[in-house]
Amino acid sequence: MAHWLMKSEPEVYGIQHLRQEQTTLWDGIRNYQARNFMRSMAVGDLAFFYHSNATPPGIVGLMEVVETGLTDPSQFDPTSSYHDPKSSPANPRWDCVRLRYLREFPRLLSLETLRNTFSVEELAVVRKGNRLSILPVPEPTAARLFCLLEG
């Protein structure tokens, strides 16, 4: 069982939206590296929900991967801002996964605290200018995150 960090802007889709819906398709990922990380996810993996473009940015909750290998439907939708004209149902290029709400942490764990706690090797999100919206979290780092978030 692996751990991940997944970013979303709270004003677009935040942890509160997921708590209301309980499950969601994590669609709209249009970066090959992030897509490939989604492709290597397995059912039962856990993902830290990270609020980006927030004040302050940081980890706010926990999700579980409940379905993998899904084709992102928004790539075929001409009215969607995620529409990809180079993609077709016969040749889809973007995947997504389905996630389930697990819980919200009692306090946000800010990027500033993460930077003071982890090196870039331990947690890639602390690297300056990191734009990847989906990142793997090494197991030792995941264990320390749970201590910080719930201890």
**69: region left, alpha or beta (phi > 0 left; psi from -120 to 50 alpha):** left
The string of DSSP letters for 69-111 reads EEE-GGGG-TTSTT--TT-BTTB---EEEEEEEEEEEEEEEEH
Rule CB under 7 A: choose which of 100, 132, 138, 146 binds DNA: 132
Measure CA 65 to chain center. 10
3-state SS class at 130: coil
Site string for DNA, 57-96 (x = CB under 7 A): x---------------------------------------
Least distance to DNA, CB of residue 142, Å:
19
**What is the distance between the alpha carbons of residues 11 and 25, in angstroms, rounded to a whole number?**
17
Q: Does the protein bind DNA through residue 3 (CB under 7 A)?
A: no
The two counts, helices (H) then strands (E), for the chain are 5, 6
Least distance to DNA, CB of residue 85, Å:
10
Least distance to DNA, CB of residue 15, Å:
15
Q: Does the protein bind DNA through residue 100 (CB under 7 A)?
A: no
- By CB under 7 A, how many residues form the interface with DNA? 21
Give the binding site for DNA (CB under 7 A).
7, 9, 30-33, 52-54, 56-57, 111-112, 115, 127-133
